[in-house]
């Protein structure tokens, strides 16, 4: 058992448990916090892969922006109340069944697929540093890059428009 | 250091990603609060991102990570717009349970 | 050249029909009638032309208009055969037809639908010509059906009167029953011989290589067709009811032309009937029985046209008797003479009815000979002819029939003789009640009594002359008709040498007729007998007066069950079928109603559906492959 493996297991445990707790807990603020922890553990996974830039971007975007948004929404609209009525029993049962079903299916798919034995290559060239990523992003993936920026622009405008209060002049 | 996968093995990552995805699905189906549903969707997206990065290491290629970039960009945009919609719904309906949105009943 | 003339002969009345149907309303009544009559006269002149030709050459003209059916080895042309038999028929059909057209111009001049009347009359002549000149059974069938149709149209001409419509329907339906027989016979012949052409079937039968039992069925079926068309037992009840049509119609269709179609067909197919003696026997028996039954009913009828109708049925029975005994030329002779005097009688009765403004009951007539001399004398000549008095036409033809009957079967001779005696009786009864003694109608009618206009009396005169001298075409000395028809008839023909037996038979027939006339004279003139009103007739007379209740029997046997069946279909079967058919729609409706429930609008359900679908797709793509 190498250290890396142990670290991997710890990180996975954190990921899975926090993800589960996100869903399970009854108060939205708590689930937001758990989700932040989940994201951090995933960033840890990225670091294990030596994808440093990606890990940092992940933290900045997800934990630093998305979850802040979530938290703000929850707090500003006072959605922290616990007055959520549970779904009817049948739906909950159905959800559990479907969860088991889909997990079994997907796991079995991957088990049945031919696993590759043998060594994993290590060419030694640098494929994931910032320099390489930047070069590729702005050379081969130029168009998607630009479109992503347009997408973000549209999202900005859209969210501002959508949440405007209607003029109360009716 | 050699490929990290030599020590961990790609199957572990696949299982992890799959399990995370299924937890996300479970969350979508199980909870009624729209915020929690959103969060579950984020969990699903993240599971996929993780798998992408794992495979990018497997192939020693950076294309997987580039795709993760874009996936994150889309996720961010989606959250922004989604929360804006949520706010509108809350203003109109008074609550954010998805079961209350039944006007399209046929 | 000949093809064109034949075509004109055929098409000319049809052109008259088209003109009168489309333009008749816009032109004057006189012009409408004139065009209608002219077209028939054109056909008449052309048939005279062809008659001269065929008489000179001794053989017929066959023209093929176009090829109609060609199926494997079965070939059928729409062809015209102008041989001795068809030209003979053409002559008297178009001749008497044109006289009746002339008559109708005056008779129907009050009617506002006169153009329709002439259109239908022309159409009828067209179909009758088709029937007669066809060179195969199928073309004849076209004419056969067509005259049935025109009969329906013309009987129900005054369509506003419902009983007239019922009479027209009855005629048509009974005709159809006969047509079924005709068709079955045609099919069998087509099956056996692979052709329907007369000139092709004849040698095949004479050679004798064919299956006789199947041909017997064919002959029987064809005879059933003839029964329907020519009003023999048991399909005769339509003819008296058909008197609901205008009198020219009765004269043309139900005396001279359509009802003779059956006899024409049997004479045409004489070679077929000659080899099936059982069917011939049946024909003879039915002919004789019909003759007797109809004559007996005619004894007590009070409507002038009904008497003539039953007389027609009776005379047709005599013709069938002759056919059944193999004496085709004798039957044809009687057809011709009967056409003359029966048409004259009908037209004369029309003249009487016209003068009395629609009165048809003989009990309200009488003493008309002072007011309508031409009508009286022409009808008298025709009555003498029909009663078989020497030397008028009916004497010669009827006596030939009786002679043939006597030679073959004495019982049939007795029946036919009784029928002839009854004929003489009731015809003179008609004459006495209508024309003699004093007028029994109302005063207003009496003041309006006058002779009919010339367009009515001229045809009467012409026909009376023909009835008087018509016997000349087949006198025992010259036998012109027999020789003329020799090429048509295959078997042996009757040649009567006048010996003592023949003279004795003639004498017996003549004596019987004179006794009947004397008895009628004594009853209706001397004893001043007038038939009772309807309610006072009793017992046996009542049975005969009500036509032996045959109509009621048919109603009970056939009409009521068919009506019940159709009622059953309407009330139970059709709604059930409707339900079955609509059930498709109902099922689809139900399915879509259930499908509608999927659209609950609840997002949770939709998400479930997403995930389940995803599971299904993944498992199909990765596991099931």
State the DSSP string of C519-580: HHHIIIIIS---PPPGGG--HHHHHHHTGGGHHHHHIIIIIHHHHHHHHHIIIIIHHHHHHH
The residue count for chain C: 625
What's the rounded mean pLDDT across residues A51-56? Answer: 91
Helices (H), C275-372: 277-298, 304-324, 328-355
Residue A141 falls inside a structural domain: yes
Asked if the model's pLDDT at residue A170 lies above 50, the reply is no
What's the rounded mean pLDDT across residues B77-99? Answer: 87
Token couple for C267: 């004479």
- Nearest residue of B to residue C614, measured between CA atoms: B25
Q: What is this model's ipTM? A: 0.90
Q: Which of A31, A46, A155 sits opposite B80 (nearest CB)?
A: A155
Residue A36 falls inside a structural domain: yes
A99 lies in the same domain as A132: no
Is the Cβ–Cβ distance between C390 and C510 less than 8 Å? yes
Number of domains in chain A: 3
Is the Cβ–Cβ distance between C167 and C253 less than 8 Å? no
* Long-range contacts, stretch C407-410, CB < 8 angstroms, 24+ apart: C408/C284, C408/C325, C409/C284, C409/C325
**Euclidean distance between the first and the last CA atom of chain B, given in angstroms as a whole number:** 60
Number of domains in chain C: 1
Give C277-317 pLDDT, tens digit per residue: 888 889 999 999 999 999 988 888 888 898 999 999 999 99
Is the Cβ–Cβ distance between C392 and C480 less than 8 Å? no
A95 lies in the same domain as A77: no
What's the rounded mean pLDDT across residues C223-232? Answer: 88
Residue A65 falls inside a structural domain: yes
Token couple for A96: 């559990």
Report if pTM > 0.90: no
| Per-residue confidence (pLDDT) for residue A96, from 0 to 100 | 85
| Per-residue confidence (pLDDT) for residue B106, from 0 to 100 | 63
Residue C578 falls inside a structural domain: yes
Neighbouring chains to A with at least 3 Cβ pairs closer than 8 Å? B, C
CA proximity to A132, closest of C350, B66, C70: B66
Give C135-175 pLDDT, tens digit per residue: 888 999 999 999 999 999 999 898 888 889 988 988 898 88
Spatial separation of the C-alpha atoms in residues C297 and C364, rounded to whole Å: 20
| Per-residue confidence (pLDDT) for residue C240, from 0 to 100 | 87
Give A90-142 pLDDT, tens digit per residue: 778 888 888 888 888 888 888 777 666 666 666 667 777 888 888 988 999 99
Q: Can you say how many angstroms the Cα of residue C164 is from the centroid of all Cα atoms in its chain?
A: 17
A32 lies in the same domain as A61: yes
Q: Chain-wide mean pLDDT for chain A?
A: 85
A1 lies in the same domain as A73: yes
- Cβ-count burial C555-582 (b if 16+ within 10 Å, e if not): eeeeeeeeeeeeeeeeeeeeeeeeeeee
Residue A140 falls inside a structural domain: yes
Give A71-102 pLDDT, tens digit per residue: 999 888 877 665 566 667 777 888 888 888 88
Residue A64 falls inside a structural domain: yes
Residue A49 falls inside a structural domain: yes
A35 lies in the same domain as A69: yes
Q: Do A69 and B83 touch (CB under 8 A)?
A: yes
Distance from CA of C625 to the nearest CA of A (A): 11
Q: Which domain holds residue A61?
A: 1-83
Give C346-398 pLDDT, tens digit per residue: 999 998 888 888 888 888 888 888 888 888 889 999 999 888 887 788 888 88
| Per-residue confidence (pLDDT) for residue C493, from 0 to 100 | 58
| Per-residue confidence (pLDDT) for residue A169, from 0 to 100 | 46
What's the rounded mean pLDDT across residues C207-233? Answer: 83
- Nearest residue of B to residue A89, measured between CA atoms: B30
Residue A34 falls inside a structural domain: yes
Is the Cβ–Cβ distance between C435 and C368 less than 8 Å? yes
Asked if the model's pLDDT at residue C491 lies above 70, the reply is no
Give A26-44 pLDDT, tens digit per residue: 888 999 999 999 999 999 9
Q: Which domain holds residue C577?
A: 553-623
Residue C565 falls inside a structural domain: yes
Residue C577 falls inside a structural domain: yes
What's the rounded mean pLDDT across residues C212-224? Answer: 86
The beta strand positions in C20-154, using DSSP E, are 61-71, 74-82
A109 lies in the same domain as A134: no
Query: What domains, with CATH codes, occur in chain B?
Result: 8-97 (1.10.287.3510)
Q: Using alpha carbons only, give the angle A87, A93, A95 rounded to the nearest 5 degrees.
A: 80
Is the Cβ–Cβ distance between C177 and C225 less than 8 Å? no
Spatial separation of the C-alpha atoms in residues C388 and C385, rounded to whole Å: 5
A104 lies in the same domain as A137: no
- Nearest residue of A to residue C621, measured between CA atoms: A109
Distance from CA of B1 to the nearest CA of C (A): 35
Q: What is the 3-state secondary structure (H, E, C) of A71-134?
A: HHHHHHCCCCCCCCCCCCHHHHHHHHHHHHHHHHHHHHHHHHCCCCCCCCCCCCCCCCCHHHHH
Spatial separation of the C-alpha atoms in residues C468 and C478, rounded to whole Å: 18
B96 and chain C in contact, CB less than 8 A: no
């Amino acid at each position: 058992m190498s250290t890396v493996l142990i670290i991997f297991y710890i990180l996975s445990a954190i990921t899975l448990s926090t993800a589960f707790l996100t869903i399970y807990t009854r108060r939205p603020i708590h689930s937001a916090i758990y989700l932040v922890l989940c994201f951090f553990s995933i960033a840890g996974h990225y670091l294990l892969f030596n994808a440093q830039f990606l890990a940092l971007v992940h933290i900045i975007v997800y934990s630093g922006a998305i979850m802040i948004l979530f938290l703000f929404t929850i707090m500003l609209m006072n959605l922290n109340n616990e007055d959520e009525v549970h779904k009817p029993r049948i739906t909950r049962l159905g959800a559990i069944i479907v969860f088991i079903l889909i997990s079994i299916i997907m796991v079995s798919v991957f088990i049945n697929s031919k696993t590759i034995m043998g060594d994993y290559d290590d060419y030694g060239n640098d494929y994931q540093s910032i320099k390489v990523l930047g070069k590729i992003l702005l050379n081969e993936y130029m168009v998607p890059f630009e479109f992503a920026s347009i997408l973000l622009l549209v999202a900005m405008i859209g969210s501002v428009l959508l949440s405007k209060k209607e003029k109360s002049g009716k | 250091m050699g490929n990290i996968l030599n020590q961990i093995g790609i199957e572990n990552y696949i299982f992890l990603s799959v399990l995370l995805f299924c937890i996300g699905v479970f969350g979508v189906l199980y909870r009624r609060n729209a915020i929690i549903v959103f969060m579950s969707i984020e969990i699903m997206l993240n599971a996929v991102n993780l798998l992408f990065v794992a495979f990018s290491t497997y192939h020693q290629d950076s294309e997987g990570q580039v795709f993760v970039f874009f996936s994150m960009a889309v996720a961010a945009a989606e959250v922004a717009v989604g929360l804006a919609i949520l706010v509108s719904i809350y203003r109109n309906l008074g609550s954010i349970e998805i079961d209350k949105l039944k006007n399209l009943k046929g | 050249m000949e093809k064109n003339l034949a075509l004109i002969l055929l098409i000319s009345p049809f052109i008259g029909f088209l003109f009168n149907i489309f333009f008749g309303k816009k032109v004057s009544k006189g012009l409408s009638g004139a065009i209608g009559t002219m077209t028939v006269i054109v056909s008449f002149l052309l048939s005279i032309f062809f008659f001269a030709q065929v008489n000179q050459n001794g053989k017929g003209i066959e023209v093929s208009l176009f090829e109609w059916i060609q199926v494997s080895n079965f070939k059928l042309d729409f062809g015209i055969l102008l041989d001795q038999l068809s030209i003979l028929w053409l002559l008297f059909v178009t001749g008497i037809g044109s006289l009746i057209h002339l008559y109708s111009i005056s008779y129907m001049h009050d009617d506002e639908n006169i153009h329709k009347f002439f259109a239908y009359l022309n159409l009828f002549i067209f179909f009758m010509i088709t029937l007669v000149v066809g060179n195969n059974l199928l073309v004849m069938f076209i004419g056969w059906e067509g005259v049935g149709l025109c009969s329906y149209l013309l009987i129900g001409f005054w369509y506003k009167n419902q009983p007239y419509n019922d009479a027209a329907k009855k005629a048509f339906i009974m005709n159809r029953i006969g047509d079924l027989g005709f068709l079955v016979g045609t099919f069998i012949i087509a099956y056996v011989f692979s052709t329907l052409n007369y000139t092709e079937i004849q040698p095949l039968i004479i050679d004798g290589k064919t299956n006789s039992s199947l041909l017997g069925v064919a002959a029987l079926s064809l005879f059933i067709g003839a029964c329907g068309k020519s009003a023999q037992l048991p399909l005769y009840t339509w003819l008296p009811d058909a008197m609901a049509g205008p009198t020219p119609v009765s004269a043309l269709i139900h005396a001279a032309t359509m009802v003779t179609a059956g006899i024409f067909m049997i004479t045409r197919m004489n070679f077929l009937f000659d080899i099936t003696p059982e069917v011939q026997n049946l024909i003879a028996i039915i002919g004789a029985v019909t003759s007797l039954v109809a004559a007996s009913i005619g004894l007590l009828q009070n409507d002038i046209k009904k008497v003539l109708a039953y007389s027609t049925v009776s005379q047709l029975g005599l013709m069938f008797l002759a056919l059944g005994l193999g004496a085709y030329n004798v039957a044809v002779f009687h057809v011709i003479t009967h056409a003359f005097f029966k048409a004259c009688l009908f037209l004369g009765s029309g003249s009487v009815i016209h003068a009395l403004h629609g009165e048809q009951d003989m009990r309200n007539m009488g003493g008309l000979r002072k007011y309508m001399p031409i009508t009286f004398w022409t009808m008298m000549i025709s009555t003498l002819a029909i009663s078989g008095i020497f030397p008028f036409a009916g004497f010669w033809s009827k006596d030939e029939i009786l002679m043939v009957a006597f030679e073959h079967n004495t019982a049939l001779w007795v029946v036919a003789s009784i029928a002839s005696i009854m004929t003489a009786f009731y015809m003179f009864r008609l004459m006495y009640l209508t024309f003699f003694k004093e007028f029994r109608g109302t005063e207003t009618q009496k003041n309006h009594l006058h002779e009919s206009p010339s367009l009515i009396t001229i045809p009467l005169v012409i026909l009376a002359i023909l009835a008087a001298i018509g016997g000349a075409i087949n006198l025992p000395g010259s036998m012109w008709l027999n020789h003329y028809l020799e090429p048509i008839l295959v078997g042996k023909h009757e040649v009567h040498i006048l010996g003592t037996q023949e003279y004795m038979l003639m004498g017996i027939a003549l004596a019987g007729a004179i006794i009947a006339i004397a008895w009628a004279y004594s009853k209706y003139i001397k004893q001043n007998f007038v038939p009772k009103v309807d309610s006072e007739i009793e017992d046996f007379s009542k049975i005969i007066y009500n036509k032996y209740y045959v109509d009621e029997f048919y109603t009970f046997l056939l009409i009521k069950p068919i009506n019940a069946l159709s009622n059953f279909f309407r009330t139970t079967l059709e709604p059930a079928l409707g339900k079955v058919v609509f059930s498709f729609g109902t099922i689809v409706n139900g399915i879509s109603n259930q499908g509608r429930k999927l659209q609950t609008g609840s997002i949770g359900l939709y998400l479930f559906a997403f995930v389940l679908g995803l599971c299904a797709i993944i498992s199909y793509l990765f596991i099931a492959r």
